[in-house]
Amino acid sequence: MSIHRINLLLLSAICLLFIKANINAQLHNTAKEDSLYHQNCLIQFGEKLLNYLTFENEKYVLVIYPSGGYSQRTGLEAGIMPVISWMDANSIHQHQTRINTLSASLQVSTKKMFEIKSDLEWFISENWQMHSKFSYLSLNDRYWDAHSNESFFENIEFKLRRINWEAQIHRQLPRHLHAGIITSILNQNNNWQTEFPQVSGLKGGFIAGTGPSFLFDSRNHVLFPRQGWFITTSGIFHHQMLGSDFDFNKWLTDVRYYANRGKSTFAFQYFTEYVTGDVPFFSLPNLGGTDRLRGTGHSRRIIDNSIQFIRAEFRTPLWWRFGFVAFAEAGVAGNAFRVDLEDAITSFGGGLRFRILPDEPLNIRFDVGFSSDGHNGMYISLKEAF
């Protein structure tokens, strides 16, 4: 075979490979264009659907969503959740980082839960802000004794009805500092189904308390911070002089840090809650739940006079209004304010986020967590865990 024939064959092979590569590239581009087309169609369909649930004008945005969820304590939940957000001149002056929001929900569940609750975040003026929570809850619940006690009374059924209101108001001081007061009112009635333990707060009671609260807030956004610090500490003193049936004190400290890494965010938190005095069992700090260790199952399964936990989250956008979160957590509970790492419970998991407001990062979150003591939890709720 001559060298010219070899060259001709090589040239023909190169041409065929080039033609094939070109065809494959065209097919790939066509498939990519088709994929983008279908994605755009899905986005347009989703936006049109959300438009039917969104009412917006120059002053406010109102979104009304069907809501649902699941937890070991409540069972399968269903309901409705309206959320309204608005901005005033002060919010605009703060470069749109402070958004006033009022969220509410009405929920029922397969475990005969009925719950109405609201959460208000209101920046009243340039120097004043208020955070208020209200809830009414009727639920067939279960009782667990304090984590540090060796008790025969565990997993006992009872019916509770509770009204709870808590409010914090702060005035801004220089350099991100705020000072104010926190007030808490709770009225609970308990109806025991079977043999019941002799504990403080057996039949329920009325609780009223107030105290000082201090806040340091350098976050770049209140709904979905990506940079800065949030540190708050408060003391709530419950006393008969305020009409309370129980005399006890509660101290809370919450430290959070957010680090921006491109489109993603790393978030860290240390939290502690400590009570002393005649504390009814239903006011003991709990380690689990949707805003604490998410792998512990029933939110009241681990309670005691003192709880502490640390955790970290990785948050990143996925597509359209969806995002993803991975988290790791560890916490301890005991009858005194101390850290015993041998008794620590770890929790890890992940979840999806869906932005419900058209222009602001207010998310519905879907979280699944697993704990080191063999329990797990699944939660659907509004806003980030921290």
The string of pLDDT tens digits covering residues 27-73 is 455 555 556 665 667 666 566 666 777 888 878 889 888 887 777 78
**Residue 339, SS3?**
coil
Rg from Cα positions in the chain: 26
The DSSP secondary-structure symbol of 282 reads G
Q: What is residue 128's predicted lDDT score, i.e. its pLDDT?
A: 93
**Rounded-to-integer distance, Cα 213 and Cα 224, Å:** 23
**Rounded-to-integer distance, Cα 287 and Cα 293, Å:** 6
**Which residues in 30-126 belong to E strands, given as ranges?**
54-56, 60-71, 75-86, 100-109, 114-122
- The CATH label, of 2.40.160.50, 3.40.50.720, 1.10.1500.10, 3.40.50.1100, for the domain at 32-382 is 2.40.160.50
Could you tell me which residues are beta bridge partners of residue 339?
none
**Rounded-to-integer distance, Cα 52 and Cα 57, Å:** 14
Q: What is residue 178's predicted lDDT score, i.e. its pLDDT?
A: 96
Q: What is residue 5's predicted lDDT score, i.e. its pLDDT?
A: 37
170-59-47 Cα angle (round to 5):
110
Query: How confident is the model over 189-208, as pLDDT tens digits?
Result: 999 877 776 789 999 999 99
- Does 17 have pLDDT greater than 50? no
Tokens of 182: 């926190």
Which residue has 């809830």 as its token pair? 135
**Rounded-to-integer distance, Cα 291 and Cα 383, Å:** 10
Confidence of residue 6 (pLDDT cuts 50, 70, 90): very low
Tokens of 261: 């890494």
**Rounded-to-integer distance, Cα 255 and Cα 311, Å:** 11
Q: Which residues of 80-95 are buried (b: 16+ CB within 10 A; e: fewer)?
A: ebbbbbbbbebbeeee
Residue 343 backbone phi and psi in degrees, to 5: -100, 10
Tokens of 354: 């869906």
> Are the CB atoms for 136 and 157 separated by under 8 Å?
no
Sorted by where each begins, the domain ranges of the chain are 32-382
Residue 185 backbone phi and psi in degrees, to 5: -130, 130
Sign of CA dihedral 118, 210, 145, 163: negative
**Rounded-to-integer distance, Cα 284 and Cα 335, Å:** 10
Query: Average pLDDT for residues 265-286, to the nearest whole number?
Result: 96
Residue 26 backbone phi and psi in degrees, to 5: -65, -40
**pTM for the structure as a whole:** 0.82
**Rounded-to-integer distance, Cα 308 and Cα 344, Å:** 10
373-377-379 Cα angle (round to 5):
155
Looking at per-residue confidence, does 156 or 115 come out higher? Answer: 115
Could you tell me which residues are beta bridge partners of residue 254?
232, 271
Q: What is residue 136's predicted lDDT score, i.e. its pLDDT?
A: 98
Q: Provide, rounded to the nearest whole percent, the portion of the chain with pLDDT above 70.
A: 82
User: Rounded mean pLDDT of the chain?
Assistant: 84
Kind plus residue range of the DSSP H or E element containing 180: strand 177-192
307-311-317 Cα angle (round to 5):
145
Q: What is residue 149's predicted lDDT score, i.e. its pLDDT?
A: 82
